[in-house]
Amino acid sequence: MGLLENKVIIVTGASSGIGRAASLLFADHGAALVLVARRAELLEEIVHEIQRVGGRAIACAGDVTREETHRRAVEAATGNFGRLDGAFNNAGAVGRMAPLARLETADWKAILETNLTSAFLSARAQVRAMLDSGGGSLVFTSSFVGNSVGLPGMGAYGAAKAGLGGLAKALAADYAHRGIRANILLAGGTDTPAAGTEEQKAWAASIHPVRRIARPEEIASAALFLLSDLSTFVVGSGLWADGGNSATKVQAVD
């Protein structure tokens, strides 16, 4: 039996990086999946990959900053699989980087919409369905940026990722007594397209005590724990999956 056997899970930002790795891992652990991202062709490729080995998954292409996308994702879960047991709300983007005083208001709003408002929209739609299913687990991908450290040019991103912690705590206050758990996953630097150039990845590796950045599968494994029944008493919390980055701010030396 897999850790998500007979559970129905939504994954946002599922088309690449952490979301793709999580989708494959969750399917391997028995979950039926609704995969959400803007790039429909990439979603269909993942769906076919899961179905080829006997898994269950459907694609729901859409923009996570739009309420309609989350409504359709929840309807896809309940309409195709009969219920909703959890969600890995992983979608996010760094956006335009600039010192705060030079950041345009439009850029600020876009970054918060993608990283924080989208999480609110997803949770609002998902909670309603999860109450009908008797509860479940919500996991939001946050970051060490904005939580253990600020980085130059990433003020909006850090503010949005810090806000996810407040959102998870609010959800815990409102719904934990009704069986819904909400937690954030505080990821370290991860080898995804958003990680930048090889030079940028090498710099990021240098501020992690393990002297490397994460593989997407490592972050996905932490999300698996939070979505599974192994974490039934973990509520309103932040799980650090950051290679020790939050433990020290000293660059690794021999």
d(CA 9, CA 46): 15
Q: Which of 88, 157, 175, 240 is catalytic?
A: 157
- 8 Å CB contact between 168 and 183: yes
d(CA 140, CA 149): 19
- What is the SS3 assignment for 145? strand
d(CA 133, CA 2): 20
Nearest to 207 by CA among 239, 248, 238, 153: 248
Strands 136-143 and 86-89: parallel
Residue 175 a catalytic site member: no
Nearest to 207 by CA among 226, 220, 188, 225: 188
d(CA 168, CA 91): 16
- Residue 193 token pair: 């397209």
Q: How far is CA 13 from CA 18, 27, 90, 98, 230, in A?
A: 8, 16, 5, 24, 24
H/E element, 62? none
d(CA 203, CA 88): 28
Question: Which residues are annotated as catalytic?
Answer: 157
